[in-house]
Amino acid sequence: MSARTRTLGRLARCVAVTLLAAACGGPAPTVAPVEAPAIAPAPAAPATAAPVVEPTLFTLPANESPAVAIRLLFRSGFADDPADAPGLTALAAQWMAEGGTRSLTAFDLKQKLYPWAARIGVDVEADMTVFTATVHRDHLAEFVPLLAEVVGSPRWEAAEFERLRRDAIDDIEKRLRSSDDENLGKRTLDQMLYPNHPYGHFAGGSVAGMKAATPDAVRAHAARVFGKARLTIGVAGGYPADLPERLKSALAGLPDGQGTTALPTAVAAPERVRIVEKDAPAVAISMGAAVAFNRTDPDFTALMVGVSAFGEHRQFHGRLMQRMREARGLNYGDYSYAEHFTQEPGGTFPAVNIARRQQTFTIWVRPVQPGDAVFALRLALHEYDALLKDGLTDAEVKTAAQFLEGYTQLWAKNPQRRLGMALDDAFYGTPDRLAKFRAGLAGLTAAQVNAALRKHLPPVERLSIVLVAKDAAGLRDALISSKPSPKTYASEKPADLLAVDAVVAVRPFGLAPEAIRIVPVDQLF
Amino acid sequence: MKSNTPMLERAGLVAGLVAGLGALAPRPADAGAFPYPVSQETLKNGLRVLFVPMASPGLAAYYTAVRTGSRNEIEAGHTGFAHFFEHMMFRGTKANPNFDGKMAEFGWHNNAFTSDDQTVYTDFGPASRLGDVIALEADRFRNLSYAEPAFRTEALAVLGEYNKSAAAPWLKLEETLAGTAFTKHTYRHTTLGYLADIQAMPGKYAYSKKFHQRFYRPDNCIVIVVGDYDRAAVLAQIETHYGAWSGKADQPKIPVEPAQTAERRAAVAWPHPTMPRVLMGYKVPAAADHKADATLDVVYDYLFGETGSLHKTLVLEKQIAEPFQAWSQAHRDPGLWAVLGTGKAPEHLPEIERAVDAAIAELQAGHIDEAQLARIKSNQRYSLILELEDPESVAEQLAWTVSVTGELDAIDRYMAALDALTPADVAAFARERLVPAGRTVVTLTQATTEVKK
């Protein structure tokens, strides 16, 4: 805790999210919401009393570790932001986590936690906000009331509000728009996939929204979304048996809060391609579509394997990585995602507690040289098309399944992750999901995987595409004209690769002028 | 221990400033501070192996640290080569042409990172396939084989990494700090290397073969095995697969940096909207000087950390700065210890600098709160326990410290030095080292902004 890294990652997590665009010129397709089962509420109170709202308790078996992991998970997130005040949930959560408590200033709170190396943090996603805490059991007795104050009795100090609000504005103006082109592409894709939808804005809000935010509005919003009705208290690690009840008691003063509201149907922006115009040294590419499946689907095991074989995040066995980076040296990495994905801080595993009620399929092509952008986009689309039409080989499916058999075991490497994953399982109603997933790998065939990919993934014509580029007009013209984009190499390439290139270089985009929209970067967020 | 700051990994730049692991703390003195038992073996060819058993049911980490990084890049025109070569290590052998595919079959997560002083290959996965991983790793270290076309293609991936990193101001800041603070030592270039050298990499195929011969030798490597495994079986497998590996690593003569005698300054005009930043770097001893190393960590937390005096005044009260960031990594040779201040507006940078000067003057005068020093020591003790919860984090911490210092018990030594530290020690260090004559200051502001000192 001796230094803080930038906070953008906490609010705007890392990877692409996308929503489908309409086929060019046609009506925008729609995707029905997938409502996940709610975490079961606590049993109702006796009939004669007014309904008592209580948080849900969730524990993993205690172990011998000296570390105790706590996750206070609210089924609230930036999807709860008022339509005219984006970013309110995240600002409220930050103000609570960093701004001190009724009895301690922000600085005094840090001083109190510091000698213990105890940590309290918060992450805000679309449908989940989680206050995370790790503490040594030596300090648990003193720590629990402090944590309860952070969540239940924040200090709501005006000076901290101003500091955090200004940070949020700087994060957009001086970071996201300016020096984080890959995230810029992903967050723009969110906007394309979810216009007029609670998922369609940046978690950190907008410059205008942050400037208009008031302390009163944020406090009132917090009371609505951070109440007991949406809270699950999760505990893991080497905790004493009475800890869950102690936490529940300490948090009894939380407002009841309001229940969640239903999501509308996702309808993508009408254009197929959005080009963010800015002085970028390379071209960042993200694409994707909203999908009607999630991990509760019986086909999800097959989909997870298939998407891994196509482009597992930050791994090298996927087709996209092998063919775009390893064989052609086009860029630094190329990946695909069967559901909304964020990389855990400091690692490559999927972050936990980013579960969503509606899901996306996305592809992330890391920045390419401007002169290669059209070819790289064509190649990614070609590969995706081929994935759906021709499918994966037996060997590819076998390798991906073997990889996931081991790799998914690592995701449970520490108590915080184990607890987070179990809470996600509760959200979706998929207990022991990964154990069942691994069991389901046995006997999985390429035919099953290919059938699942064809059944559930959007056709290439439904992918919305975001490009972050300096020469937006030139890029637009190249896409509309479908002018060939032959690729040359400084080194010898095999004949079969060059044969594919010849096909890729003339692949038509089929885009009418109105299917491409250029947006200057300073008009975003 | 210092944070493992900017380092490059094959599948991602570990962007900018990683928060200090801040994590090291003592068990009873006789047992050492590291919370897990560590033992070692040295093969006849000089390969050292560290064993760290820990409760991690079914999981193990297998790390290989090569004590070669961008520090070794002494020849002109070859900056960034250690990192590039790290990429080439994944291009396979005659026996195993598809390294990535093999690792995927084993279900293991693997990657690598390069820093100024070392290159570390990181494997983490089910212990049931550890034997396969050992055989595969030994094969690539001994028998790496790639053709020139693959070499030229991989150079483009490195260029892509540079382009990806160049979009944010961190790389330019780092390049400017290193290039200003050092005149002779290879720390004057970043691990990624100069852009011109990266662009020229495709033509260095023959050099890459020599690089492997020079530095990827058993006496220059340390294998670290952490987790749930049978030590005797693993040792036998390592002896089987690495035993015939031979050769001695080249020991290049690294240019010695002349003593700095006056403050150096540089200014970067960034062409895009950006937060104004001031990066203050001080010349400090090598990490093997554990007392100095521990003192620097204390100074960081005392002044700049979340409970530091400057955080309180500048970040929380005056709100003219964002939280400070440690910009330092442990170094094999005397290097730089730097702190990054981020102003809310360009005109705040001079005030931040003045506040840092005043706070360091207080340390030099011996005005140090002993209670706060005790809190820092406590934080380090508990951090060590809370941060090192799984084989991956343990292996990474060990790889970093052991390969930089060359000491297998570096963490214990560091913690002992930290425990013994007094306010007088901190003051003496500040008087000797945290002085303008040893300092390099780099500011970064938007190009159109004028900064007045």
Digit-coded pLDDT (tens) for A129-175: 999 999 999 999 999 999 999 999 999 999 999 999 999 999 999 88
Output the pLDDT for position B272.
87
CA distance B9 to chain A (A): 11
**How far does Cα B167 stand from its chain's mean position?**
22
Helix axes A373-390, A472-481, angle to 10 degrees: 40
Which chain A residues touch B208 with a CB distance below 8 Å? none
Q: What is the DSSP letter of B127?
A: G
Report the distance separating Cα A331 and Cα B149, nearest Å. Answer: 16
CB contact under 8 A, A3 and B300: yes
Structure tokens at B419: 């425990």
Averaged pLDDT score across all residues of chain A: 89
pLDDT over 50 (residue A19): no
pLDDT tens for each residue of A415-427: 999 999 999 999 9
Per the structure block, which two tokens stand in for A290? 């909203």
Q: How far apart are CA B307 and CA B371, in angstroms?
A: 13
B188, B155 in Cβ contact below 8 A? no
- For the domain with range B7-242, which CATH number is right: 3.40.50.2300, 3.40.50.1220, 3.30.830.10, 3.40.250.10? 3.30.830.10
pLDDT digits (tens, 9 = 90+) for B349-383: 999 999 999 999 999 999 999 999 999 999 999 99
- Confidence (pLDDT) at A50: 64
Measured CA to CA, the distance from residue B294 to residue B418 in angstroms comes to 5
DSSP secondary structure letters along A137-171: GGGHHHHHHHHHHHHHSB---HHHHHHHHHHHHHI
| Residue A223: Cβ-neighbour burial (10 angstroms; 0-12, 13-18, 19+) | middle
Question: Does any CB of chain A come closer than 8 Å to the CB of residue B305?
Answer: yes
SS3 B183: coil
Digit-coded pLDDT (tens) for B116-164: 999 999 999 999 999 999 999 999 999 999 999 888 888 888 887 887 7
Å between A399 CA and nearest CA of chain B: 5
| Angstrom distance (rounded) from CA A28 to CA A515 | 11
Does B167 sit within 8 Å of A181, measured CB to CB? yes
CB A354 within 8 A of CB A384: no
For residue A237, is pLDDT > 60?
yes
Q: Where are the alpha helices (DSSP H) in B221-306?
A: 231-242, 290-299
Mean pLDDT value across residues B288-302? 95
Q: Which pair of tokens denotes residue A69?
A: 């992991």
Residues B428, B291: Cα–Cα separation, whole Å: 12
CA dist., res. B9 & res. A63, Å (int): 34
* Residue B332 to chain A, least CA–CA distance (Å): 22
pLDDT beyond 80 at A31: no
**In this structure, are residues B433 and B307 in contact, taking their beta carbons and an 8 Å threshold?**
no
Q: How many CB atoms lie within 10 A of CB A477?
A: 13
pLDDT above 50 for B20: no
**From CA B154, how far away is CA B145, in angstroms rounded?**
14
pLDDT at residue A35 in the model: 47
CATH number of B264-446: 3.30.830.10
Instruction: Give A159's contacts in chain B (Cβ within 8 Å).
Output: 316, 319
- The mean of the pLDDT values for chain B is 89
Is the Cβ of B156 closer than 8 Å to some Cβ of chain A? Answer: yes
A71-103 exposure pattern, b = at least 16 Cβ within 10 A, e = fewer: bbbbbbbbbbbeeebbbbbbbbbbbbbbbbbee
Is B111 close to A348, i.e. CB distance below 8 A?
Answer: yes
Tell me: the pLDDT tens digits for A464-504? Answer: 999 999 999 999 999 999 999 999 988 889 999 999 999 99
* H or E segment to which residue A226 belongs: none
Phi, psi dihedral angles at B61 (to 5 degrees): -115, 140
pLDDT at A259 over 90: no
pLDDT (0 to 100) of residue A345: 86
Query: What does the pLDDT read at residue B163?
Result: 79
Predicted confidence at residue B26, as pLDDT, reads 31
Q: Cβ contact (<8 Å) for A2 and B18?
A: no
- The strand pair at A30-31 and A273-277 is best described as unpaired
Residue B22's pLDDT is 28
How would you classify the pairing of strands A273-277 and A266-267? unpaired
Q: Which are the contacts of A376, defined by CB distance < 8 A and separation ≥ 6?
A: A283, A285, A324, A330, A331, A365, A368
Task: Give residue B31's pLDDT.
Answer: 56
> Phi-psi bin for A165: left (phi > 0), alpha (psi -120 to 50), beta?
alpha
pLDDT of residue A21: 27
Using the predicted structure, report yes or no on whether residue A16 has a pLDDT greater than 90.
no
Q: Give the mean pLDDT of A318-326.
A: 94
pLDDT of residue B21: 29
B345 interfacial to chain A (CB closer than 8 Å): no
Q: What is the pLDDT of residue B57?
A: 85
The shortest CB-CB distance from B11 to any of A175, A333, A490 is to A333
Angle, CA A109 vertex, CA A103 and CA A115 arms, to 5°: 135
| pLDDT at B346 exceeding the cut of 60 | yes
**Bridge partners of B62?**
B123, B225
pLDDT at A513 over 70: yes
For range B5-16, the mean pLDDT: 37
- Measure the CA–CA gap between B400 and B46, rounded to whole angstroms: 19
CA-atom Rg of chain B in angstroms: 22
The kind and range of the H/E element at A431 are: none
- Exposure of B40 by Cβ count < 10 A (0-12 exposed, 13-18 middle, 19+ buried)? middle
- Which residue of A285, A332, A335, A365 is the best one to mutate when testing the B interface, meaning the one whose CB has the most B CBs within 10 A? A332
Contact A325, A65 (CB under 8 A): no
The 8-class DSSP code of residue B72 comes to G
How sure is the predictor about B167, in pLDDT bands with cuts at 50, 70 and 90? confident
| The two three-digit tokens of residue B155, written as one number | 């150079």
pLDDT, tens only, A337-346: 999 999 998 8
Q: How far is B395 from chain A (nearest CA, A)?
A: 13
- Facing B104 at nearest CB: one of A65, A166, A402: A402
Q: Interior CA angle at A194 toward A190 and A195, to 5°?
A: 110
Contact A2 B19 (CB under 8 A): yes
Among A95-99, A263-267, B13-17, B39-43, name the one with the lowest average pLDDT: B13-17
In this complex, the residue of B125, B160, B168 whose CB is nearest that of residue A179 is B168
CA-derived radius of gyration, chain A: 24
pLDDT at A48: 56
Residues of chain A neighbouring B294 (CB-CB closer than 8 A): none
Interchain CB distance below 8 Å, A4 and B325 = yes
Question: How large a percentage of chain B has pLDDT more than 90?
Answer: 79
Residues B1-22 have a mean pLDDT of 35
Partner residues linked to A289 by β-bridges:
A361
- What is the DSSP secondary-structure string of A18-29? ----PSTTSPPP
Question: Does residue B453 register a pLDDT over 80?
Answer: no
Residue B202 to residue A490, Cβ atoms within 8 A: yes
Confidence of residue A257 (pLDDT cuts 50, 70, 90): confident
> How far is A27 from chain B, CA to nearest CA, in Å?
36
Task: Say yes or no to pLDDT of B90 above 80.
Answer: yes
Least confident of A21-30, A317-326, B182-191, B319-328: A21-30
Mean pLDDT of A378-389: 98
pLDDT digits (tens, 9 = 90+) for A95-107: 999 999 999 999 9
Q: Dmax of chain A from CA atoms? A: 82
Domains in chain A with CATH codes: 52-250 (3.30.830.10), 266-523 (3.30.830.10)
Distance set, CA A300 to CA A307, A355, A505 (Å): 10, 15, 34
Q: pLDDT digit string (tens) for A342-380?
A: 999 888 999 999 999 999 999 999 999 999 999 999 999
Judging by DSSP bridges, how do beta strands A119-124 and A129-136 pair with one another? antiparallel
Q: Is B221's pLDDT higher than 50?
A: yes
Q: Which residues contact A419 (CB under 8 A, 6 or more apart)?
A: A58, A60, A69, A71, A234, A235, A236
CATH 3.30.830.10 positions along chain B are: 7-242, 264-446
Nearest CA-CA partner of A116 in A101, A134, A129: A134
Percent of chain B with pLDDT over 70: 92
**Three-point CA angle A161, A164, A167, nearest 5°:** 150
Question: With an 8 Å Cβ cutoff, are A116 and B382 in contact?
Answer: yes
Res B158: pLDDT: 85
